[in-house]
Structure 1
């Protein structure tokens, strides 16, 4: 009898490195085809690498987890995932109240850790690896503490952009989604990012919601922490101290198709993979070079979700879609890494320092830099452990 593995299914005709695209197509359909071709190629690379591990133990084709896009999951699989998230929200926090009085649940532990470390995990050398470990640790909490037997799904932003956010399976508000838009409320003014540091402000439109989410699994959810830097229509910023006090309120969303279509379409994703040749350019393109007028494929979905905590860089994991979003961020990095695996998973796969845009000045991030998720999860690991999805604590890949 044949024994099945978790190898990534590949067509009979394998993708060749010589045939891979070198420049992102401006045509959305062609860019989607390019992304599929790139994913197929690096999937083959993963299969070939892991097939050599079978006699060495560790991660292999036999214990590999495969992360899939939300829309490809069955209704039962989607429901199992959201049930596990609700379970995590019902379990008591591990973070001491002296450190984060507002952390009331295990779900909040992750939010509190992100708030505490925000200035050390964005525009830093740890941005990509920290969020890889953070998302994986959340997945492990769902599995180990809430009986979830599936894998962390990812959110294909380009697909949602084509369909329209409110029509996409992940945000249609059904019981098999991650809930949908917030109730419509009148909003005055645009979202204004930056503009106070000598760089031009970036103007973003508001969306079609703005109020409390009223449908889907998270219709009754309470956001307990934050805001710590919530961008409001009209250019105001809402801050509740350090964001760690108890401040229960509804989950709000303001879905904005214009943002997802401009910043996180298939062409933008393909460009972020094909254009940068070094990790500094890759991660800066992804986050948006300051003053460029582009918030990158990372910022696009955050601000397209909008609302509270969606527009708050610090508190953003307070919206359950954060983890599907960052699984997609990780998938883009996974593809980019495996196009030059040796270089991009080693020393030359890291660039940047330990503080936001090196302010205040700090030491360069290296393979020996420690990543510690505090009370959310553990144990502390080094950057060296996080550079591959099939090494260190990890054994997963993507379709």
Structure 2
């Protein structure tokens, strides 16, 4: 495998590939100003969802059926910075509670799992190659986030909703955002700054052929020493490879204690998870095109907003696709991934005639193997979303809408 160095000059010269936007100097001006068209899109999506719920509610009650999701029951997930300090603290305390509960995963399956929080990391390790660049990527993570929120509620008394991280909002200084600023209401601070440290290396997962890509460094690189998750110990992984960290035993499921590290900074955030990339993503006509913009092209510098968010966090475990849920910020990042999908779905019109609630695509990312390698069938709505020991499983068809089945939420 050869290494591609991610230099500013190379970024400026990058070309669009298959509809992916190029990265250039605009990433320091209009890409960082929220366009009114994006605001209008999100408001239109919210209005459509509420109208759909109201229509279904009326229809079901006419038939004498009590609807599961109603306008009055609909919960709205909010951006972390829009929560009050009390709400942020309640969320932080619930996450810490989950970290203090014993695991459900048997010790012979994952000796490195020491808490209920770790159960969710374990299943992500086990399923990574089946739920990334595959047709179930978004449904699996939607259900995964729902089950994580459910654990916070039912096992730790949390009464709020899952917050999300609006990537472009803090793109020029994510390390100073309410998520990473290190105060008592944050999810912990950045890693300690290591002068001259190299950027994150993107290493292809075991068995996958691809380039090693080097990203620009953030403003940390060391251990997290401030905030509620200061000096947090992680025990699972790494799997995909993190520089200067020995691979975790048992394919990452064994015991490998070390401290949480982050490398939060504006470089990757501004390049990939800015307002222009979000608007471009929401403007795509079908799920294949949408996902290509969201997820980019693996093992290249075309990360997309999904990779852009992950590698804005970076560090350990955030820089390893298998164990990235070991950083509490993972759930806010994927909250926004789910938000974008929910908004894009609603922009397709009334749910009764909207194919975006049933179509999993037919492109390279629509199969049941990572980028369809080895070649495999297309994902189907009846496919199971396996949660292992972390939570109950379901099928893709049950989670295609955030207001269907067990789900009843949208985003503000």
Tell me the TM-score normalized by structure 2: 0.85
Distance 1:225 1:34 in 2: 43
1:29–1:116 Cα change, 3 Å:
closer
CA distance in 1 between partners of 2:89 and 2:112 (Å): 28
SS in 1 for 2:252: coil
- Which 10-residue stretch deviates more, 129-138 or 55-64? 55-64
Structure-2 residue corresponding to 1:53: 56
Q: Which residue does 1:309 correspond to in 2?
A: 317
The Cα of 1:199 is off from its aligned counterpart by: 5.9
CA distance 1:313–1:140, change in 2 (3 Å): same
Matched, 1:144 2:154: yes
**RMSD in angstroms over aligned alpha carbons?**
2.3
Alignment of 1:398 with 2:411, yes or no, is: yes
Find the counterpart in structure 1 of residue 38 from structure 2.
35
Change (3 A) 1:50 1:230: same
Could you tell me whether the CA contact under 8 Å between 1:31 and 1:266 is conserved in 2?
Answer: yes
Deviates further, 352-361 or 293-302 = 352-361
Moved over 4 A (4+): 194-201, 348-351
Residue of structure 2 equivalent to 1:267: 276
- Aligned-partner Cα distance in 2 for 1:201–1:69: 33
Query: Which digits, 9 at most, give the CA deviation of each residue in 1:14-60, with x for residues without a partner?
Result: xxxxxxxxx9x982366442222111001000111111233341101
* Conserved 8 A contact 1:212-1:250: yes
Cross-structure match for 2:229:
218
Task: Note the alpha carbon deviations across 1:64-99, whole angstroms, 9 max, x for none.
Answer: 111000111000000000000000000000001111
Q: List runs of 5+ in structure 1 lacking aligned partners.
A: 1-22
Q: How many pairs are equivalent?
A: 371
Name the residue aligned to 2:11. none
Q: Secondary structure at 1:85's aligned position in 2?
A: helix
Secondary structure of 2:192's aligned partner: strand
Of 361, 376, 399, 2:375 maps to 361
Residues 93, 105 of structure 1: 8 Å contact kept: yes
SS in 2 for 1:307: coil
Mean alpha-carbon deviation: is it higher for 285-294 or for 247-256?
285-294
SS in 2 for 1:202: strand
Is 1:344 the counterpart of 2:352? The answer is: no
Looking at structure 1, the residues matched to 220 and 113 of structure 2 have their Cα atoms a distance apart, in angstroms, of 27
Tell me whether 1:376 sits opposite 2:390 in the alignment: yes
Q: Secondary structure at the match of 1:94?
A: coil
Cα shift at 1:350: 7.2
Instruction: Give the corresponding residue for 1:103.
Output: 113
Cα separation, 1, equivalents of 2:330 and 2:230: 16
Q: CA deviation at 1:277?
A: 1.7
The answer as to whether partners of 1:192 and 1:203 remain within 8 angstroms in 2 is yes
Counterpart-to-counterpart distance in 1, 2:35 and 2:210: 33
Listed as ranges, the matches of 1:279-290 within 5 Å are: 279-290=287-298
Q: Which residue of 2 aligns with 1:329?
A: 337
CA deviations 1:111-147 (Å, max 9, x no partner) are 0000000000000000000000001110000000000
**Which has the higher mean CA deviation after the structures are superposed, 261-270 or 341-350?**
341-350
Partner Cα distance (1:312, 1:229) in 2: 6
- Compared with structure 1, are the counterparts of its residues 115 and 90 closer, same or farther at alpha carbon in structure 2 (3 Å cutoff)? same
Between stretches 106-115 and 27-36, larger displacement belongs to 27-36
Q: Which residue of 2 aligns with 1:254?
A: 263
Q: 1:149 to 1:316 in 2, by over 3 A?
A: same
- Alignment check: 8 A CA contact 2:272 2:303 kept: yes
- Determine which of 120, 123, 128 is the counterpart of 1:113: 123
SS of 2:76's equivalent in the other structure is strand
Evaluate the alpha carbon distance shift between residue 248 and residue 292 of structure 1 in structure 2; reply closer, same or farther with a 3 A threshold.
closer
CA-to-partner distance for each residue in 1:191-214, whole Å, 9 max, x for gaps?
A: 343599886653311222111111
Is 1:385 the equivalent of 2:401? Answer: no
Q: Determine if contact 1:187/1:210 at 8 Å carries over to the other structure.
A: no
Partner of 1:230: 241
Distance (whole Å) between structure 2 residues aligned to residue 350 and residue 140 of structure 1: 32
